[in-house]
């Protein structure tokens, strides 16, 4: 089983601050995905990173895949209350996708 | 718009009951998954299926079984529900060899 560890588990910040959350593993992944989940709903895909060293930007969100394809980070610039949610990373071989435990982000106005 | 639909948003069942959770996807995806989500533990894979009538155990299959008789439908069965199976259950589907998964809205199951 390929394990994904996310840190921090909880993060509470003020609106306008920057933050970075991490997803680490001892295993190599062909790709990693980041999802965001709101209370009472299923996770929704934000991005997939495939190439080692890849950086993808989605408005104020920047995703990076480690060179060795074992880790990834999500950086949010100037966080807004609408960014509040559970951020999950996921990866795995073609059939059995595994998730990290997630980072629960709260952005206070 | 792509869709994964779970049959119930909320369910309350009694200990010992046989429980069926249904999931249907309209994207012709080969892969389908069942996860349970508990605070602090994240999403844990119960079973997945990569084709009709095919199933593979995930990390926590004990107490569960699955059925995939048609490509679009993946059912999770709790043979004899227990209180420790109280949880949020999430169904997902994806194309084969692609990481992107589409999730249903979840079923919050309470076993009393």
Q: Using CA atoms, how far apart are residues A3 and B8, in angstroms rounded to an integer?
A: 30
- Label residue A95 by pLDDT band (50, 70, 90): low
Per-residue pLDDT in tens (0 to 9) along chain B, 112 residues: 669 999 999 999 999 999 999 999 999 999 999 999 998 788 999 999 999 999 999 999 999 999 999 999 999 999 999 999 999 999 999 887 666 889 999 999 999 9
CATH code of residue B53: 2.60.40.10
Mapping DSSP onto H, E and C, the string for A31-83 reads CEEEEEECCCCCCEEEEEECCCCCEEEECCEEEEECCCCCEEEEEECCCCHHH
CATH code of residue A73: 2.60.40.10
Judge contact between B49 and B74, C-beta under 8 A. yes
- Label residue A83 by pLDDT band (50, 70, 90): very high
Query: How many domains are there within chain B?
Result: 1
- Neighbouring CB atoms inside 10 A of B2's CB total 9
Which residue among B45, B56, B97 sits closest to A98, beta carbon to beta carbon? B45
Which residue among A41, A96, A102 sits closest to B42, beta carbon to beta carbon? A102
Judge contact between B93 and B101, C-beta under 8 A. yes
Q: Do B90 and A43 touch (CB under 8 A)?
A: yes
Within 8 A of A95 by CB-CB distance, chain B residues are 31, 48, 50, 56, 96
Does position A109 have pLDDT exceeding 80, yes or no? yes
Which residue among A1, A40, A100 sits closest to B42, beta carbon to beta carbon? A100
Residue A40 has a pLDDT of: 84
Judge contact between A28 and A48, C-beta under 8 A. no
Q: Do A91 and B99 touch (CB under 8 A)?
A: yes
Which residue of chain A is at minimal alpha-carbon distance from B10?
A40
Question: How close A107 comes to chain B (CA, Å)?
Answer: 19
Q: Which domain holds residue B56?
A: 4-111
Q: Which domain holds residue A69?
A: 5-108
Within 8 A of A92 by CB-CB distance, chain B residues are 99
Query: How many domains are there within chain A?
Result: 1
Judge contact between B68 and B29, C-beta under 8 A. no
């Amino acid at each position: 089983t390929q394990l994904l560890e996310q840190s921090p588990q909880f993060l509470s910040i003020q609106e306008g601050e920057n933050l970075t959350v991490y997803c680490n593993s001892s295993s190599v992944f062909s790709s990693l995905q980041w999802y965001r989940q709101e209370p009472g709903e299923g996770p929704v895909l934000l991005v997939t990173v495939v190439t080692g060293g890849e950086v993808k930007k989605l408005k104020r969100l920047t995703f990076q895949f480690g060179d060795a394809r074992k880790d990834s980070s999500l950086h949010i610039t100037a966080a807004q209350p609408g960014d509040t949610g559970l951020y999950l990373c996921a990866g795995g071989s073609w059939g059995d996708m595994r998730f990290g435990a997630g980072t629960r982000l709260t952005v206070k106005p | 718009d792509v869709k994964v639909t779970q049959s119930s948003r909320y369910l309350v069942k009694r200990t010992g009951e046989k429980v069926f959770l249904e999931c249907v996807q309209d994207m012709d995806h080969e892969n389908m998954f069942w996860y349970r989500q508990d605070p602090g533990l994240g999403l844990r894979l119960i079973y997945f299926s990569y084709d009709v009538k095919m199933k593979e155990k995930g990390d926590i299959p004990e107490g569960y079984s699955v059925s995939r008789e048609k490509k679009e439908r993946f059912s999770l069965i709790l043979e004899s529900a227990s209180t420790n199976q109280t949880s949020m259950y999430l169904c997902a589907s994806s194309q084969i060899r692609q990481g992107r998964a589409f999730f249903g809205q979840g079923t919050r199951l309470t076993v009393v």
